[in-house]
Amino acid sequence: MRTHAVSVLAGDGIGPEVMPEALAVLDDAVAPHGIRFEWHEQPWGSEYYRRHGRMMPTDAIETMAATDAVFLGAVGHPSVSDVETLWGMLIPIRREFDQYVNLRPVRSFAGISSSLAGDPEIDLVIVRENVEGEYSEVGGRAYRGTPHEAAYQQALFTRFGVQRIARYAVDRARERSGRLVSATKSNGIIHTMPFWDEIVAEVVARDGAELELESVLIDALAARMVRAPRSLDVIVASNLFGDILSDLAAGAVGSIGIAPSANLNPERAFPSMFEPVHGSAPDIAGRGIANPIGQIWAGAMMLDHLGYPQIAAQVEAAFTAVIGAGVVTPDLGGSASTAEVGAAVRAALA
Ligand code: GGG
């Protein structure tokens, strides 16, 4: 029997509702293969913050480092500032474990109507830089409480950081169609974005000269994603642009509730983290109607990362069949509950 210890951070809002469904699916998926998960469930998040004044304990990184992966639900609560929830939990995990790749696949499903024009069959991957760029601590507020109050925020791009995300994207593009689009805004953002463009072009010329590279302004790229999504395959983007584009793409193919995300340390020096793209959705929390597919799909990405691509493919096939059969939550126009979708995925696996 092979055992994998995984840190489970269900977190806030709908996180604790979708997480048990994903854990049950993963347990069922690996059991026939002589594999088991040891779930290390941690009560961290906004409730923990209200009791302890921090999102997770001081030794949280050390605790998670002793496990093979981190499986996260959602963070965010109306009673805690978004800065605390992201910078107290999600961002420190990404940074401490050098999870510099945020891989976000987006595809359409039979049975879900897409608002994207043209061919509804969409299958693309967003490679988001995950530890620097616009998500930076450099900045501040000045002249607080006066009519001259100001805020400033510096994006920080390093040659090392852009090179390694570009190299990762080159590898993904090579495995797929050979087409790579780089999201930029070098006409308006005159320092960091030309730097990004230059380095991406250098990396592609050196490591992926056979690839077709297009550098596309983020505003035009957003429109193209809606008008001609099939012209896109692998997109490499900065932290903020990647975050926005992946929500846009996921929403446009049907629901952000189905979109997964892998925060990867490709060198495997540290655990990687798997989470749905969606947040804590306080508007629907507690009603048992949250879509568990994003969490389940993130679990499939974790299986793939742990070395079980065939089991990951079985899980994907199971939830694809369930969506195709119309067993879907209200965000996709159905009436199934979170638990009913989870049970249907487990039944489809059997
Ligand atoms: N599923 C994790 C979650 O709650 N994400 C919410 C969020 O705001 N994420 C921002 C980000 O991915 O940078």
What's the CA gap between 48 and 46, in Å, rounded? 5
Q: Ligand 1 centre from 224 Cα, in Å?
A: 24
pLDDT in tens, 202-214: 999 999 999 999 9
- Asked if residues 316 and 300 have their Cβ atoms less than 8 Å apart, the reply is yes
Among 14, 46, 75, say which to mutate for ligand 1: greatest number of ligand atoms within 8 Å of CB: 75
pLDDT in tens, 144-178: 999 999 999 999 999 999 999 999 999 999 999 99
What residue owns the CA closest to ligand 1's atom 13?
Answer: 243
- In this prediction, residue 115 carries a pLDDT of 66
Q: Ligand 1 centre from 280 Cα, in Å?
A: 8
Q: Which residues are catalytic?
A: 143, 185, 219, 243, 247
What's the CA gap between 323 and 113, in Å, rounded? 11
Among 77, 90, 103, say which to mutate for ligand 1: greatest number of ligand atoms within 8 Å of CB: 90
- Which pTM was predicted? 0.96
ipTM at complex level: 0.92
Q: What is the position in ligand 1's atom list of the atom closest to the CA of 239?
A: 13
Q: What is the position in ligand 1's atom list of the atom closest to the CA of 135?
A: 13
Fold that domain 114-253 belongs to in CATH: Isopropylmalate Dehydrogenase (3.40.718)
- Look at residue 57 and tell me whether its pLDDT is greater than 70: yes
- In this prediction, residue 119 carries a pLDDT of 52
Q: Is the dihedral of CA 135, 138, 143, 145 positive or negative?
A: positive
What's the CA gap between 199 and 160, in Å, rounded? 9
Q: Ligand 1 centre from 74 Cα, in Å?
A: 7
What's the CA gap between 238 and 183, in Å, rounded? 7
- In this prediction, residue 121 carries a pLDDT of 81
Domain segments of the chain as ranges: 1-99+258-350, 114-253
- Cα 167 to chain centroid distance, Å, stands at 19
DSSP lists the bridge partners of residue 217 as 184
Please state the CATH superfamily assignment of the domain spanning residues 1-99+258-350 in this structure: Isopropylmalate Dehydrogenase (3.40.718.10)
The overall average pLDDT reported for the chain is: 96
Confidence of residue 244 (pLDDT cuts 50, 70, 90): very high
What's the CA gap between 253 and 310, in Å, rounded? 25
- Per-residue burial over 69-108, b if 16 or more Cβ lie within 10 Å, else e, is bbbbbbbbbeebeeebbbebbbbebbbebbbbbbbbbbbb
What's the CA gap between 185 and 193, in Å, rounded? 6
% of the chain exceeding 90 in pLDDT: 92
- Look at residue 117 and tell me whether its pLDDT is greater than 60: no
Closest listed residue to residue 316, CA positions, set 163, 105, 172:
105
Among 72, 86, 94, say which to mutate for ligand 1: greatest number of ligand atoms within 8 Å of CB: 86
- Look at residue 239 and tell me whether its pLDDT is greater than 80: yes
- Asked if residues 234 and 69 have their Cβ atoms less than 8 Å apart, the reply is no
- In this prediction, residue 251 carries a pLDDT of 87
8-state DSSP, 124: E
What's the CA gap between 347 and 18, in Å, rounded? 17
What's the CA gap between 50 and 302, in Å, rounded? 30
pLDDT in tens, 170-200: 999 999 999 999 999 999 999 999 999 999 9
114-253 shares the fold of 1-99+258-350: yes
Ligand 1 pocket check for 275: Cβ under 6 Å: yes
pLDDT in tens, 312-350: 999 999 999 999 999 999 999 999 999 999 999 999 999
- In this prediction, residue 120 carries a pLDDT of 62
- Look at residue 254 and tell me whether its pLDDT is greater than 90: no
pLDDT in tens, 84-111: 999 999 999 999 999 999 999 999 888 8
Closest listed residue to residue 291, CA positions, set 262, 253, 264, 239:
253
Residues 6+ apart with CB under 8 A from 153: 134, 136, 138, 139
The better pLDDT of the pair 236, 110 is held by 236
What's the CA gap between 52 and 46, in Å, rounded? 10
- In this prediction, residue 199 carries a pLDDT of 98
- In this prediction, residue 255 carries a pLDDT of 87
φ, ψ (nearest 5 deg) of residue 156: -130, 110
Confidence of residue 116 (pLDDT cuts 50, 70, 90): low
φ, ψ (nearest 5 deg) of residue 149: -50, 140
Q: Ligand 1 centre from 277 Cα, in Å?
A: 6
pLDDT in tens, 290-303: 999 999 999 999 99
pLDDT in tens, 20-30: 999 999 999 99
How many residues are recorded in the chain?
A: 350
Q: What is the position in ligand 1's atom list of the atom closest to the CA of 277?
A: 1
